[in-house]
Amino acid sequence: MFQCMYAGIFGITHDSEIANNNFHFERRSRNQLKVSSEEREYINQRKRLELRWGFDVDEYLEKYGYLRTIPREISNRKIQVHSKLDRKHAIRLYQEFFGLKSTGGLNKKTVKVMKEPRCAFPDQREDDPYSPVRNFHFYRYYPRWRRSILTWRVSKYTKKISPLGLWKTLKKAFNTWSSVTGLRFLYTRQTPDIQIDFEHGNHGDGAGLAFDEKGRVVGHAFGPGTYTISGDIHLDTDEDWTLDVDPKSGVNLLGVAIHEIGHALGLVHSRDPRSVMYPAFVRTNLDLSQEDIENAQILYGPNPEVKDPPLPAKELTTVAPKACEINMDDIELGPDGYTYIFRKSHLTQIDQRGKLVRTPKKVKITDIYKNGPPEVDAVSFLEERKQTYMFYNNTIWRYTNFDLDFGYPKAFKGLPEVPRCATFIRDKYGITRLFLFGVDLFWEWSTVKDVVRAGYPLQTAEYFHGLQKSPEGSLRWKDGYIYFFKKDKVFKVHPNDYSVLNTYPKPMPPEWMLDIC
């Protein structure tokens, strides 16, 4: 099973802890430790699952962040165990992440996905006690290189591919990213920013990052930073490396290199199978997806040599629309690509061309989102999972596509005021988080626990420079920017530093909303 590891600077201890987290209760004598009936049942159930499915399910869920890693230290002479509810919740999270039917129980389809070749970097981070992001509040910057020209070299080679073939392949992998960003990559014989080494077994990065012969872990990369190892890529020299894209021929070097370079640039995994950052090396098409391009450009901007095509003559002569005031409770993209403006109990639909969708009668929220709220206080759409979150009257609804998810709606506490709008934002580690905005404060919402996270509220003006208080709507648009709306003004916020662009605010409507006024 082919796997990779993305080992950010803080990830070394974490992955090492996970890799060594094996249970050996049977080796402890009764004089050393007394095992309760509950603990014994947990151990037996865990063994039964392992016998049935051929692998330790709990260890798998721990490793990829769906279950808390149980510490090996024993406090008060008691074994710490997961409950059945813990496992059920973890499996449900896993199923939701990979687009499977969310039942909370193991089945053949779920286990098949679990056994697929994949990367060893965790999918979930928030509930991991070793995770460096567990107690993050809010960060205005991504982990990225602070310069546009980066150097690279290979210092340890593999015998499976000729030096010339290796050099050409790696150059092509780097060009894949430079073709869509403002980055340039130069080969050097000096100390590089990104050093690529073919290594064997435990090669000095710790037991958790050791290679384990061919067919499983094929490589890992370190994210941007100021450490000596920052940006470095290690590949398992024992793999059957090949330049052929057919997986039957071996491990395709180009696909792995593009993926690992993405990590070295600060990108994390994607749940989109079309992405080169998908956790498994199962793709034969190695072109960057639109998501890959957008995420890379959020970090480093577009390629300045690639010019936008000229607008048609008709659009060049179109008179700019007059400013107008749009009353809204919030605005958000939908899973169908349409934009939805929420106002009271009704929706206004805007198609993918920016045209108003005209209907013979008003469209209610519940016409589109069955069993939804009568109105919304705030709403936000998570593109990666096709999930829509709606907040109204201290209750939350969550939809995947247009289907209400199991367990929703549910009541919540913790917001001292009614939220005015909501939007998903990526934090320093590229993790997408949901933020709710009030008059002059904002909160982070845990999409795992459905509660307000500790450490909030924070002052909006302190983190979103140039944004006026009391925004009425917000969304992350297809261009990667965050748009806030207030009366007859629109504010365009840069995704890198969360500051309003110098040319904003502008009169409503934005350029991608043509005939709303």
Q: Encoding tokens for residue 197?
A: 């080494």
Catalytic pick from 260, 291, 444, 472?
A: 260
Ligand-binding annotation for 494, yes or no, is no
Question: What does the alpha-carbon distance between residue 242 and residue 245 come to, in Å, rounded to a whole number?
Answer: 8
**Largest CA-CA distance found in the chain, in angstroms, rounded:** 87
Ligand-binding annotation for 193, yes or no, is yes
Given a contact cutoff of 8 angstroms between Cβ atoms, the answer to whether 188 and 149 are in contact is no
What is the rounded (10 degree) CA torsion for 313, 314, 317, 321? -140
Question: What does the alpha-carbon distance between residue 340 and residue 485 come to, in Å, rounded to a whole number?
Answer: 14
Beta strand extents in 176-312 (DSSP E only): 184-187, 194-199, 217-221, 233-236, 241-242, 251-252
CB-neighbour burial class of residue 219 (10 A; exposed 0-12, middle 13-18, buried 19+): buried
Question: What does the alpha-carbon distance between residue 66 and residue 502 come to, in Å, rounded to a whole number?
Answer: 41
Ligand-binding annotation for 236, yes or no, is yes
Ligand-binding annotation for 517, yes or no, is no
Ligand-binding annotation for 82, yes or no, is no
Ligand-binding annotation for 329, yes or no, is yes
Ligand-binding annotation for 488, yes or no, is no
179, amino acid identity: S
Given a contact cutoff of 8 angstroms between Cβ atoms, the answer to whether 19 and 208 are in contact is yes
Measure Cα distances from 42 to 24, 36, 83, 106, 495 in Å.
Answer: 13, 10, 8, 16, 45
Ligand-binding annotation for 119, yes or no, is yes
Ligand-binding annotation for 205, yes or no, is yes
Ligand-binding annotation for 263, yes or no, is yes
Ligand-binding annotation for 508, yes or no, is no
Ligand-binding annotation for 277, yes or no, is yes
Question: What does the alpha-carbon distance between residue 178 and residue 501 come to, in Å, rounded to a whole number?
Answer: 25
Ligand-binding annotation for 220, yes or no, is yes
Given a contact cutoff of 8 angstroms between Cβ atoms, the answer to whether 278 and 113 are in contact is no
Ligand-binding annotation for 17, yes or no, is no
Ligand-binding annotation for 238, yes or no, is no
375 is catalytic: no
Residue ranges for the known binding site for Ca(2+) are: 193, 212, 232, 236, 239, 329, 331, 377
Binding site, residues? 119, 193, 203, 205, 212, 220, 232, 234, 236, 239, 259, 263, 269, 277, 329, 331, 377
Catalytic residue ranges: 260
Q: Which residues line the annotated binding site for Zn(2+)?
A: 119, 203, 205, 220, 234, 259, 263, 269, 277
